[in-house]
Structure formats: structure tokens, C-alpha cells
Amino acid sequence: MYDSTMKLNRITLAVTAAALALAALTGCSMAYGDSASNTPLVTQDVADSDKALDTLRWADEIVLKKKVMSFNDQYEVVADGVPVGEIRGQYIYALGDTYSLFTEAGNLVASEGEGYRVTTHKASLFDYNNQPAGEIRENFSFLLTNWSLYDGEAKEIGKAEQNFGLTLDFAVKNAKGETEYKIKKSMFSFGSEMKITRVTNEPTVPVMNAVWLAAIANEIDEAQQAKDDAKRNN
């Protein structure tokens, strides 16, 4: 009886601690300096972060190039041939996988944290001041993947729809159904490479939605490929 009570108390304490940790972190940025930090990062140079966002917004082509040798997932971000910064992946206890974009000078531009559901994925987006900037939610689908995009007030601002092809190929559309960005994974590259092409002069979907969608879709694709390879080898 005593052992059962002790075990129940330990389980209760563990659940309570996890709930408190999640409550303390929910609503905060997904960008942290290290895995043990409880204090989210913010930009130290607003002008530098805004410049990076402006460069990304008006670029004709953005390339996310995943580094082959890195402890956590890392992507080099280049806009029209000019380095903009780096996306750094990180695992935060009670939150799961997170990704943050930093400028070349090391200032936070934006971040996202991925929440996994039973059949679909979603990501909460944050700006460089830890303020909610929207969500990306995967919709249930038997065939081609599609996503809904939301702003910081939970208003749907667009969708992303996968096209038929031998590699990842998405069209990011605004609320009117007009394509604003195209996202495609390079068939052959040393390390995954995602290309984002702007196809409208005045995009209304924030460019970071397209950037995060490209990174998230690639991570899901790589995870699925790893599962498929494991099945074939067994």
C-alpha cells in the first residue's frame, strides 16, 4: 500500500511539473539560447532584424540549404544570392522541436515551435519580440498534403497546397486563392535544398510563413524517408 501511494505521488508530481513547465513556456517565443534556458531570446537590434525581413520579403528567390554536418538541424538562408542568416533547430523540453532564424549578426528574426497531433502537424509562429505571429496547421488528407495559414489573431490568411511531383512542390496562396509563393525541393543536392520563389509583386502572406513551411515540410519529408528506408532494410 505504501509503495503504491509513493508511486502515485511520484507520477502526480511528474505530471504537475510537466504541466507547470508547459504553462510557463506557452505563449513565449520558441527561440532559446540553450536547452537549459528558461528565458526566451529577443532581438538585440530591431533594425537588423527588420532589414532581414525586408530582404526576404522582396527577394525573387529564397534558398534554404540544410547543413549536412551539424549537431542540430541548421539551414543557411540566402535571398537572391545574398546570405541573410541561419535557421537553427533546437529541442526544448516540454515543447519539442523548435526553429529560430537569426541574422548574420546573430539577431533573432522569427521563431516557430512545432506541435504534433495524432495525424497532422501544426506550428506556432513568433516574431523577434516573442509575440505570436500566427500558426501553420496541416489539414488531414489522404493524398497530397495541404496546410492552412493563420495570423496572430487566428484569422486564416492563406493555404499551401502540394502539387504532384517527384519531390516536394508547394504553392502558397493568399485568402483569395491567388498563388504568392512557390516552394520546391531540389532533386539533387548535397544536403536538402528548398527554393522559395515569389510570384506576385505585393505578397500579403508574410514571407516567414513560406520560410517556415519550407523548413517544416522538409523535416517531415526527411523523417518519412528515414522511416521508409528503415522498413526496406528490415
pLDDT tens sequence across 31-73: 655 544 556 789 999 999 999 999 999 999 999 999 876 556 8
What are the residue boundaries of the structural domains of the chain, listed by start?
2-233
**pLDDT on residue 16:** 34
**Nearest 10 degrees: Cα torsion 118, 121, 127, 130:** 10
- Which positions ≥6 away from 110 have C-beta within 8 Å? 53, 100, 101, 125, 126, 127, 128, 133, 208, 211, 212
Cell of 141: 488528407
Which residues of the chain have a pLDDT value below 70?
Answer: 1-39, 69-72, 91-96, 115-120, 142, 165-166, 188-191, 226, 228-229
Pick one of 2.40.50.180, 2.40.160.200, 2.130.10.30, 3.40.190.10 as the CATH number of 2-233.
Answer: 2.40.160.200
Q: What angle do CA 169, 112, 160 make, to 5 degrees?
A: 25
**pLDDT on residue 168:** 85
